Structure 1
Amino acid sequence: MRFFADCQARVAADLISGRWPMVVLYALAEGPARPGELRRQIGGISQKVLTGTLRRLEHNGLVERRRYAEAPPRVEYSLTTAGKDLLVPIRALGDWAAVYADQLPAGEPLGP
């Protein structure tokens, strides 16, 4: 099977490609969270990268941003229905990685 440009799997993969989108979605599976909570939960992600990742996920309809009219302002992120549905294949990828982890190369994967 060839991976055509209009393949729906490719569209889905593009939505969550990169180091952090799947990690952020998985972290939000536990429920709504503020950015600081997400950073502590995930670890190793800068505020700038987290903000960019959340904006991208929100733009793609996977995460919802809720702003509360409080002083100081409070913002929480939660999964949309599409984001929750995407957890199924993300968890399947995690299960696959657990089975094959010892066969995968260490470190960053090599590109083509």
Structure 2
Amino acid sequence: MGRSLGEAVKAGVDPNKALDVINAGTGRNSASSDKFPRCVLPRKFDQGFSAALAYKDLRLCIDEADALGVPMIVGSAVREMVALTNAVVGPDADITEVVKVCEELARVEVRG
């Protein structure tokens, strides 16, 4: 979500309009309808859940899936993005600050 929105912003699309499009279709989710408008676009980053705790939960989930022989391809990618957030922004970072890693990769700031 953060990376695709960053790419839209880099292409000159207003982030609020991009979210309107995402939320009008099947891409709507809690990040696009709540976290981005409330925490990311105004640069508040105050969802209230740390990147370190998110990483722990993702790790436990993926470890259990591995033990059961269930592939978690997307979950593993999310775990890696949260691991990067912990490394780049810090483990005390709010989980919404994962967008900062996406912004750095795209060399753009998502602000509304």
Tell me the TM-score normalized by structure 1.
0.30
Higher percent of residues as strand: 1
Q: Which has the larger radius of gyration?
A: 1
TM-score by length of 2: 0.30
Higher RCO (CA < 8 A, seq sep 6+): 2
